Chains A and B, each alone.
Chain A
Amino acid sequence: MLRPNIMTTYLASLNTALRNLLATDDRVHLWGEDLLDPYGGAFKVTAGLQAAYPERVRTTPISEAAIVGLGNGMALRGYRPIVELMFGDFVTLAADQLINYAAKFGAMYHDGASNPLIVRTPMGGGRGYGPTHSQSLEKLFFGIPHLRIIAPSLYHDPGAILTHLVQTTRDPVLFVEHKLLYPKTIQPEGDSLPGLEGVPTRLIRNYKTGKPDVTLIAYGGASLWIEPLLPRLAAEEIRVLACFPASVQPLPLDDLVQAAAETGLVLIVEEGTRAHGWGAEAAAGITEILWGRLKAPVARLAAADTIIPSAKPLETEVLPSPERIEQAIYDLLS
Chain B
Amino acid sequence: MLRPNTQPPDHMTTFIHAPLINVNDDDMTLIEWTKPAGTRVRKGEVIAVIETTKSTADLEAGADGFLTPLAEPGETIRVGQVIGALTENLSDPVTPPPQPEKGATHFQSASHLPNRWTKKAEILAKRHGLDIAALEISPADGETIGEGDLLGYLESARVTPPDEPRSPLDNTGGRERVLIIGAGGAGVQILDVLTRIPFQVAVGVLDDNPALHGKTVLGAPVLGGIDQAARLLAEEAFDAAIISIGTRTALRAEIFERLRAAGVPFTNVIDPRAAILTGAVLGVGNAVMPFVQIAAAAQVGDNNFFSAFVDIEHHNVVGSHCTFGPGVMTSGGVRIGSRVKFGAGVFVEPLLSIGDECVVASGVALTRSVPARSVVKAKANFVVRTAGE
Q: Which residues of A contact B (CB under 8 A)?
A: 1-3, 5, 7, 9, 11-12, 40, 43-44, 47, 127, 179, 182-183, 213, 228, 232-233, 235-238, 287, 291-297, 321-323, 326-327, 330, 333-334
If A12-B53, A183-B25, A297-B168 touch, whether A228 touches B105 (CB-CB below 8 Å) is yes
Complex A-B, nearest 7 residue pairs according to Cβ-Cβ distance, in ascending order: A237-B120, A236-B119, A322-B107, A237-B118, A44-B54, A327-B110, A183-B53
- Which one of A5, A12, A236 lies within 8 Å of B120 (CB-CB)? A236
Q: Is the CB of B107 within 8 A of A321?
A: yes
| Complex Cα gap A73–B26 (Å) | 39
Q: List 17 A-B contacts (CB under 8 A).
A: A2-B55, A3-B51, A3-B55, A9-B53, A11-B53, A43-B24, A44-B54, A47-B54, A183-B26, A183-B52, A183-B53, A236-B119, A236-B120, A238-B118, A238-B119, A323-B108, A323-B109
Give the docked Cα–Cα distance between A36 and B73 (Å): 32
Closest to A332 in B: B123
Contact present for B118 and A296 (CB under 8 Å): no
The answer, yes or no, to whether B169 is at the interface (CB within 8 Å) is yes
Query: Known contacts A1-B55, A1-B56, A237-B118; is A333 also within 8 Å of B123 by CB?
Result: yes
Nearest-CB distance from B313 to chain A (Å)?
Answer: 43
User: Complex Cα distance A8/B146, Å?
Assistant: 37
Partner of B54, one of A2, A236, A296, A297: A2
Q: Are A127 and B23 in contact (CB under 8 A)?
A: yes
Query: By the criterion CB–CB under 8 Å, are B111 and A297 in contact?
Result: no
Instruction: From known contacts A1-B56, A2-B54, infer whether A334 and B110 are also in contact, taking CB-CB under 8 Å.
Output: no
Q: Which chain B positions have C-beta within 8 A of A333?
A: 123
Determine if A323 and B110 form an interchain contact, defined as CB atoms under 8 angstroms apart: yes
The complex places the Cα of A323 from the Cα of B105 at a distance, in Å, of 11
- Inside 8 A of B23's CB, which chain A residues have their CB? 127
> In this complex, what residue of B is CB-closest to A129?
B23
Complex contacts, B109 vs chain A, CB 8 Å: 232, 323, 326
CA A127 – CA B56 in complex, angstroms?
Answer: 22
Q: Tell me if B126 counts as interface (CB < 8 A to partner A).
A: yes
Please give, as numbers and ranges, the residues of chain A lying within 8 Å of B120 by CB-CB distance: 213, 236-238
- The complex places the Cα of A181 from the Cα of B110 at a distance, in Å, of 25
- Is B106 located at the chain interface by the 8 A CB criterion? yes
- In the complex, the answer to whether B121 meets A237 with C-beta atoms within 8 Å is yes
Inter-chain CA distance A43–B55, complex, in Å, is 12
The residue from A1, A5, A228, A323 contacting B53, defined by CB atoms under 8 A apart: A5
A228 touches B106 (CB 8 A): yes
Within 8 A of A (CB), among B142-175: 146-147, 165, 167-169
| A-contact 0/1 string along B19-58, CB 8 Å cutoff | 0000111110000000000000000000000011111100
Nearest CB of B to A36, in Å: 15
Q: How far is the CA of A238 from the CA of B110 in the complex (A)?
A: 14
Across-interface contacts of A12 in B (CB, < 8 A): 53
Measured CA separation A7–B52 after assembly (Å): 11
Interface size range of chain B in the complex: 20 to 34
Complexed CA–CA distance, A103 and B169 (Å): 37
Query: B167 and A232: CB pair below 8 A?
Result: no
Taking CB as reference atom, which chain A residue is nearest B107?
A: A322
| Contacts from B to A (Cβ < 8 Å) | 23-27, 51-56, 105-111, 118-121, 123, 126-127, 146-147, 165, 167-169
- B167 engages A295 (CB within 8 Å): yes
Nearest residue (CB) in B for A40 is B54
- A291 to B167: give the CA distance in the assembly, Å: 9
Residues of B within 8 A of A237 (CB): 118-121, 146-147
Shortest beta-carbon distance from A125 to chain B in Å: 13
Could you say which of A287, A294, A326 contacts B111, with CB atoms under 8 Å apart?
A326
How far, in Å, is A46 (CB) from chain B's closest CB?
11
Known contacts A236-B120, A334-B123: A182-B55 contact under CB 8 Å: no
Closest chain A residue, CB of each to CB of B105:
A228
Say whether, besides A3-B51, A326-B110, A294 and B167 are in contact (CB < 8 Å): yes
Q: Are A292 and B167 in contact (CB under 8 A)?
A: yes
A235 to B105, CA, bound (A): 13
* B111 to A, closest residue via Cβ: A236
Give Cα A327–Cα B119 distance, bound, in whole angstroms.
11
* Minimum CB–CB distance for B80 against chain A, Å: 13
Contacts of B107 in A (CB 8 A): 228, 321-323
Which residues of B sit under 8 angstroms from A47, Cβ to Cβ? Answer: 54
Known A236-B118, A237-B147: A179·B55 in contact at CB below 8 Å: no
Assembly CA distance A333 to B147 (angstroms): 14
How long is the Cα–Cα vector from A74 to B169 in the complex, in angstroms? 50
Which residues in B have their C-beta under 8 angstroms from that of A3? Answer: 51, 55-56
Contact residues in B for A323 (Cβ distance below 8 Å) = 107-110
- Nearest neighbor of A38 in chain B, beta-carbon distance: B55
> How many angstroms from the CA of A47 to the CA of B55 in the assembled complex?
10
Report yes or no: A297 in contact with B146, Cβ–Cβ below 8 A: no
Pair B27/A183 contact, Cβ less than 8 Å: yes
**Cβ contacts under 8 Å, B108 to chain A:** 323
CB distance from B143 to the nearest CB of A (A): 12
Most chain B Cβ neighbours within 10 Å, of A44, A232, A236? A236
Please, how many angstroms separate the alpha-carbon atoms of A295 and B162 in the complex?
A: 14
Q: Which residues of A contact B52 (CB under 8 A)?
A: 183
Interface centre among B53, B106, B108, B123 (most CB of A within 10 A): B53
Report the nearest B residue to A12, measured CB to CB: B53
B118 and A235 form a contact (CB under 8 A): yes
Nearest B residue to A10 via CB reads B53
* Given A232-B105, A237-B118, also A183-B24 (CB < 8 A): yes
Minimum distance in angstroms from B86 CB to a CB of chain A:
25
Alpha-carbon separation in the docked complex, A231 to B383 (Å): 88
Q: Is the CB of B123 within 8 A of A294?
A: no
A182–B25 CA distance with the chains assembled, in angstroms: 9
Kindly list chain A residues whose C-beta atoms are within 8 Å of the C-beta of B121. 237
Point out the residues of chain B lying under 8 angstroms from A179, CB to CB: 24
Contacts beyond the supplied A236-B118, A295-B165: 10 A-B pairs with Cβ under 8 Å: A2-B55, A5-B53, A7-B53, A183-B53, A291-B169, A292-B169, A296-B168, A297-B169, A323-B110, A330-B119
The residues of B that contact A291 with a CB separation of less than 8 Å are 169
| A228 vs B105: C-alpha distance when bound (angstroms) | 7
- Bound Cα distance A83, B53 (Å): 22
Docked pose: A2 CA to B55 CA in angstroms: 5
Closest partner residue, chain B, to A322 (CB atom): B107
A323 to B106, CA, bound (A): 10
Chain B neighbourhood of A235, CB < 8 A: 118
